[in-house]
Chain A
């Protein structure tokens, strides 16, 4: 028989550490259907019949964040056989708030007081026996970090699950509230499962929208229930939600007074307080943050990461594997097309993508350290003021910064933003600073058309910042994003020393996702591209300019004519850049016969009929590629992280529009103002586009939905 045990608790209570400890390395990482919150499932070490389910960290079972809705749907509908509720022993009061809600669910529950070693070290005392007595369920001290108490804990949970020993809900609510709840229980008992009765009754009392919607009781009954609720509200002189919350905390206060004896006098500084004195200090906070970010960027992108990526691209895939494969294929006498597919297509294409893995792993390691230590919360705290100005919160800053390395980990990093609106918008904006691959395009354009220019590359960063700010302001005025800024109510958790194992697991989880998902897609696209550029429509192997790819370039070149690079080669380069930005560089080099000594071929690509200047067209090409949708991998990641295909298309569509408009304005206005082309339709259209952008930024915002939930729409079902 399989036994399901759910781990539930506040964020930062050590849940993940315990989960990894209990399940070892046999974990499976999956997504919740339809949403991007991770749920982890693993089998207990040594007991394969026991499944441990790691729920997202939550503060409450209210329906206001994605994590909360997901967790409570799981607990209420799928009913695990037992719950292990982990509470942070050093912060017991707020942690018990969730406990009082979990105990309403009538599921066998065992409470794990984590960080018990710290509690003892601080000289505090928790009367565990008394605590168990008051809460009506077993309480076990553990230290997840030191792997103490875990086995005892899980045995207790298995035991409870086998005996179906339900938690005895403690008497949290007082007389008149309990009275009203009893009334509700009585009225709804025909409609809900007996075990869920109390939970539904309390939620109805709180007027929980999701539960009201789910039960869909008839109007007269709802009216009857509401009468009871209103009576109670009148008597207590407060609204129903507040009444329940107040009484839960009042109950907890009593329990804590009875069972917890703190040695530390109030006002004493903890180690965390002392670290924070420096790290979020008025004067030092920003410089420290700048240094941390610089180091992260410098190590993972500029130095170590680039060495590793260059080595992987140039040596590992560029020489060793390519040479070995070529030699091997020739030795067995394989046909030329197969060699071309494997060496030119697959090793070149997939290798380029895998080449970015070292950079990403380094970024992921830094991210994991910053997250696990608690510094990420401080970054949000420090930067919130800046980002609120254009509609985002402090939590959006980190992904944008990571985007200067690679857009894929940047999009992944938006997972730390719990507000759905902010996360969606950050996904749309975080790839606008030039990433590592876009730098190669800047490189080839600058060296060919602006040799020796020092300021084009840096100015692209400033342009990127300007685009993020202006696009942020403009998006914020669109219906979905409009309305008051989402509240910023966030715990600043105590600092923890990140563990090697924790960081490694975090990093591996993310890198694995990238390699598998991106690898499979890049693999298939590469085959398709190779096929298109190697064969003509009669399936004969031909030169590139007679290939199907060239025909496609000819067919689509009209899209890019208004941007100045509408030759078939320019078109193919721009399209191939959607697969990977660095692909544009190699396509241009290939099509233009580019070498260090001659750039005539490159000029020829951009010097089309009616184009006043190849330089202008090339610059327009650069602008387009920096601000259009990022590479295929990043787009796939955006689709996945947005959760809904609709939002994936919005993201890509928006980015295409931005890239197209900027490139269009650059080319048309440049032709008119710099190269003396007479004012025509193109210029008029460009002025209209400029007017549209200005309007989008300065117009009055659309009316947002009043009183929106903090995570946008509760789209989780």
Chain B
């Protein structure tokens, strides 16, 4: 198990757990990042933060600080 922050560009994972609490967590959940959701790290911004993640057919950008609160199981490259 890793945090989303630790996934490299191009790697995918399934969300296992969201740590953290409060409105930020709720916001992230509202955007569809919930247990079982499949994510793919699309890219890292030119200055190293934030990151861009592909899920549910759209692109979401969040900071590494927030990505750290998302625990994922890595999916081996197909």
Contacts and interface: CB of A to CB of B under 8 A. Distances in A.
A93 B18 CA distance: 20
Interface residues of A, number: 44
Contacts of A281: 46
A282 interface: yes
Contacts of B18: 242
Given A64-B23, A93-B57, A382 B45 contact: yes
B37 A249 contact: yes
Interface in A658-717: 707-710
Contact of B30 (A97, A377, A381): A97
B26 A62 contact: yes
Contact of A245 (B29, B45, B57, B61): B29
B56 interface: yes
A276 B59 CA distance: 11
A386 B57 CA distance: 29
A285 B61 CA distance: 16
Contacts of B32: 93-94, 97, 249
A249 B37 CA distance: 9
Interface string A344-374: 0000000000000000000000000000000
Interface string B16-39: 001001111011111110111100
B5 interface: no
Contact of A710 (B21, B24, B34, B36): B24
Contacts of B56: 91, 93-94
A241 to B, nearest CB: 6
Contact of B47 (A59, A60, A245, A385): A385
B24 A489 contact: yes
A229 to B, nearest CB: 16
B33 to A, nearest CB: 9
A382 B43 CA distance: 11
Interface in A405-426: none
Interface in A487-526: 487-494
A541 interface: no
B32 to A, nearest CB: 5
A334 interface: no
Contact of B46 (A91, A245, A282): A282
A90 B58 CA distance: 9
B50 A385 contact: yes
A148 interface: no
Contact of B24 (A276, A286, A487, A491): A487
B60 interface: yes
Interface residues of B, number: 35
A233 B27 CA distance: 20
A377 B58 CA distance: 14
Most buried by B among A91, A249, A485: A249
A242 B27 contact: no
B43 A490 contact: no
Contacts of A382: 45-47
A280 interface: yes
B27 A490 contact: no
Most buried by A among B28, B36, B37, B63: B63
B6 interface: no
A339 interface: no
Contacts of B57: 90-94
B52 A242 contact: no
A493 B58 CA distance: 7
B10 to A, nearest CB: 10
A491 B29 contact: no
A384 B52 CA distance: 12
A280 to B, nearest CB: 7
Interface in A27-69: 59-60, 62, 64
B22 A489 contact: no
Contacts of A489: 24, 27-28, 31, 60-62, 66
Interface string A65-109: 000000000000000000000000011111001000000000000
Given A280-B43, A381-B61, A487 B29 contact: no
Contact of A246 (B34, B62, B65): B34
Contact of A280 (B21, B27, B35, B46): B46
B58 A487 contact: no
A246 B57 CA distance: 18
B50 A384 contact: yes
A281 B22 CA distance: 33
Nearest to B28: A489
Nearest to A286: B46
Contact of A249 (B23, B27, B34, B43): B34
Contacts of B66: 487-489
Contact of B63 (A250, A283, A488): A488
Interface in A515-573: none
A292 to B, nearest CB: 14
A385 B45 contact: yes
A487 B27 contact: yes
Contact of B62 (A385, A488, A494): A488
Interface string A370-399: 000000010001101110100000000000
The 9 A-B residue pairs with the shortest CB-CB distance in the complex, in nearest-first order: A385-B47, A60-B30, A492-B59, A487-B24, A93-B56, A707-B22, A285-B46, A245-B29, A64-B23
Given A249-B34, A491-B61, A709-B22, 7 more contacts: A94-B56, A94-B58, A272-B59, A280-B52, A485-B65, A488-B50, A489-B24
22 contacts: A64-B23, A64-B26, A91-B58, A92-B57, A93-B32, A94-B32, A242-B29, A242-B34, A246-B34, A250-B36, A276-B59, A280-B43, A281-B46, A385-B48, A386-B47, A485-B65, A487-B27, A487-B65, A489-B61, A491-B61, A494-B59, A707-B23
